[in-house]
Amino acid sequence: MLTFDDFKTGYRLLIMLHRKKDGGHGRADYHSIKYLVNGKEEFDEKLKRLQDAKATHSDIPYRIYSSINERDMDKAIRKFKYEIIDNDYVDKIQRNRFYTDINNRLIGCVQKPENKKTKNFLFDVDEGTHYKTDKDVELFCQHLLFYTNILFKKKTKNGWHIITEPFNVSELDYKIGDLLKDALLFIE
């Protein structure tokens, strides 16, 4: 099984947000702090910044997440260039909004599923909704091993995140949780 450090390689998104279900805006695009990072050193540096910001605002239940899949910057840049060209054909107000929010526009392109470099899956398993005890999660993980490799497991606020290698999900005859093919991993 991999370690958390194995999910700090390449280009990834780090994000701190106040989720709607925790009383936040629910709009990650405008009410969050996001960093596009490349490699473990930059990941750790920006994660520390997010942790410091989270500690400064301890009265707000912020959560920190990162991409489970590396991003393909060549594809993302190509998509971003198309968006810039498309933006030439909108009204002036929309065009100005695009350029005043350019960092979020680039990050949006980077996070598009077609711009992922790796293809890991994430099972988001919530206690109460998907399972009753951690033993249920362990049984599911043992079952998963017949279909794929489990790369990483992490306890979340409400359950577990289980990252696997890609596999033919239609063959899976027993599943708990929501399967996400390009998701964010809960960090804290």
The string of pLDDT tens digits covering residues 84-102 is 999 999 999 999 999 999 9
pLDDT value, residue 78: 98
Alpha carbon 67 to its chain's center? 4
pLDDT value, residue 26: 60
Is 17 within a domain? yes
Residue-range definition of the domain harbouring residue 60:
4-67
Q: Is the pTM of this model over 0.85?
A: yes
Residue 166: band (very low, low, confident or very high) from pLDDT cuts 50, 70, 90: very high
Is 188 within a domain? no
Nearest to 34 by CA among 58, 56, 17: 17
Nearest to 120 by CA among 36, 71, 182, 76: 182
Cα angle value 65/56/185 (rounded, 5°)? 5
Count of domains observed in the chain: 3
Which alpha helices (DSSP H) does 21-180 contain, by range? Answer: 40-56, 73-87, 92-100, 102-111, 134-144
30 pLDDT more than 80:
no
Residues 87 and 33 in one domain: no
pLDDT value, residue 130: 84
Is 63 within a domain? yes
47 pLDDT more than 80:
yes
The mean pLDDT of the chain is 93
The share of the chain scoring above pLDDT 70, in percent, equals: 96
Is 187 within a domain? no
Residues 127 and 164 in one domain: yes
Residues 9 and 61 in one domain: yes
> Out of 27-41, 58-72, 85-99, which region has the weakest mean confidence (pLDDT)?
27-41
